[in-house]
Amino acid sequence: MLDEDGIARAQYATLDPLSVRIETHRRYSARPDDIEASVDEAVVLRDTADLLDIGCGTGSYLRRLAASGHAGRLVGVDASPAAIAALDGVPGVTAVGADAQELPFEDATFDVVTLRHMLYHVPDPGRALREARRVLRPGGTVAALVNLEHTTPLLHEASRRPLAAFGVRRPEFWLKVHSGNLPGLVGDVFGNARVHRHDNELVFDSPGPVAAYAVSCLTGYGITADDPRRDAMVAAIEAYAVALFDEESPRRDPKGYVIVTAHRP
C-alpha cells in the first residue's frame, strides 16, 4: 500500500489508467464536450502565443496545437517520465520533466500557462500557481482546470464503496482542489479570476465502462499492480457495477468542470 507521495509517483508511471478515464468521458458524455477546445476558448488563444502546459499528461493537448499549425512555442512540463516520453519526437513541442512547484524557466517566458486537471496532485497548489505567475509575461493568461466539487458521484462510489470493504479509504488529495476553492486560490495569487463553468453528465447503459473506470482508479488509492488483494478488489468492483445496473439502467452521472482564468497584471 502506497503513501500519498508514492501514489503521486505511481499513478502516472504509465499513462494507461489516465487514458481509460479520458476515453470514458469522451465516449459516454451526454453532450459532446471538447475540454481542450474549451481551454483555448477560455484563454482566447492566439496562434502566436508561447504556451506552457503544466501536467501535460498524455500530451494530446500540445500535439493537437502543434498539428493545427500553432506558431508560438509549445512546452509541456510533467513530473512523470512517461508523460515526457509521450511527447518525444513530436514536432514543434518541447517536453520537460519538472515539478510544477519549481519550474525550470526564466521569469516572464510565456504568454499562456495552463494547468489542466492537475493542481489536486501538487502538494502546495498555491506554490504552483505562484510559479505559473512568475513564468508568465505581464498581460499573460493562466488557465487552471479542475472538476466540480461533487462531480461523477456514481463513478466515485464505484471505486470507493467496494474498496471500503477492504479497509481502503479514498486519499484526501482527491478532494483537495475543486470548483469550490480554485477561484480563491487563483484570485489570491493573481488578484483577479474568472470562472468558466461546464456542466454535463455521463450516461452508461452497461456495467463494463463503470467498472473499467473504477479499476483505473486503483493506483490512486495506493493499490499497486502487485498488491495481493488486487484481483479480489477488481472482482468486487465488477460485482458492484453489475448490481448497479440490475437496479436501474441506463445510469446517469452528473459531472462538470471549471476553468479559472486570470491575467498577470
Ligand X SMILES: C[S@@+](CC[C@H](N)C(=O)[O-])C[C@H]1O[C@@H](n2cnc3c(N)ncnc32)[C@H](O)[C@@H]1O
> What is the contact surface with ligand X in residues (CB under 6 A)?
8, 12, 18, 22, 55-58, 77-80, 83, 99-100, 116-118, 121-122
Contact of 118 with 100, CB cutoff 8 Å: yes
Give the shortest CB-215-to-ligand X separation in angstroms: 16
**Which CB, 18 or 236, lies closer to ligand X?**
18
Identify the sign of the CA torsion 257, 5, 84, 112. positive
**Which CB, 64 or 117, lies closer to ligand X?**
117
Give the shortest CB-91-to-ligand X separation in angstroms: 20
Strand order in the sheet with 93-97: 93-97, 74-78, 51-54, 110-116, 136-147, 251-263, 194-204
Round to whole Å and give the CA distance between 53 and 43: 13
**Which CB, 82 or 242, lies closer to ligand X?**
82
Round to whole Å and give the CA distance between 61 and 68: 11
Pure H helices in 15-152: 16-28, 35-43, 60-67, 81-86, 125-135
Give the shortest CB-12-to-ligand X separation in angstroms: 4
**Which CB, 96 or 242, lies closer to ligand X?**
96
Round to whole Å and give the CA distance between 167 and 158: 15
Give the shortest CB-83-to-ligand X separation in angstroms: 5
Identify the sign of the CA torsion 191, 196, 197, 200. negative
By DSSP bridging, strand 194-204 and strand 93-97 are unpaired
**Which CB, 61 or 204, lies closer to ligand X?**
61
Round to whole Å and give the CA distance between 82 and 105: 21
Give the shortest CB-56-to-ligand X separation in angstroms: 6
**Which CB, 117 or 196, lies closer to ligand X?**
117
**Which CB, 86 or 211, lies closer to ligand X?**
86
Give the shortest CB-171-to-ligand X separation in angstroms: 13
Give the shortest CB-132-to-ligand X separation in angstroms: 11
Residues with Cβ within 8 Å of residue 25, at least 6 apart in sequence? 33, 35, 202, 255
Give the shortest CB-188-to-ligand X separation in angstroms: 19
**E-state strands within the chain:** 51-54, 74-78, 93-97, 110-116, 136-147, 194-204, 251-263
By Cβ distance, which residue is nearest to ligand X?
A: 57
**Which CB, 166 or 174, lies closer to ligand X?**
174
Cβ atoms < 10 Å from Cβ of 201: 16
